[in-house]
Amino acid sequence: MPALVIFIIFSFSFYVYYKIRYVRSERPIERRFLSAKASVALGLFVALFGINQLFLYQTTVTYIIAAIFIILGFASAWAGYRAYRYYLPQAVEEAEAAKQK
């Protein structure tokens, strides 16, 4: 499915983007915040890759591996989303404090 491939490319691109921003950031809470966003993007990449494999190959081994990819991907995306929600208010406070200096 071409649409699925586009989403896979976008999620991987966002992962690379957030990891580059993570490396360039100097504030500790912002780094955790960006790491959480990268975790969501990587989780979606892995899950979408597993879903894509279901459409490409129809073997028992593929179903098992795709299920593992889908479960691990969505679990990683969920954990990243929870971390994102946790660090968002702290990152805002940190950015406002840095702006006032």
Q: How many domains does the chain have?
A: 1
- Among candidate residues 68, 67, 71, 66, the one with its CA nearest the CA of residue 53: 66
Q: Which pLDDT value is given to residue 92? A: 92
Residue range 27-56, pLDDT digits in tens = 999 999 999 999 999 999 999 999 999 988
Measured torsion, CA atoms of residues 14, 19, 20, 23, in degrees rounded to the nearest 10: 160
Domain that holds residue 92: 2-100
pLDDT band at 98 (very low <50, low <70, confident <90, very high): confident
pTM for this prediction: 0.89
Phi, psi at 37, each rounded to 5°: -65, -40
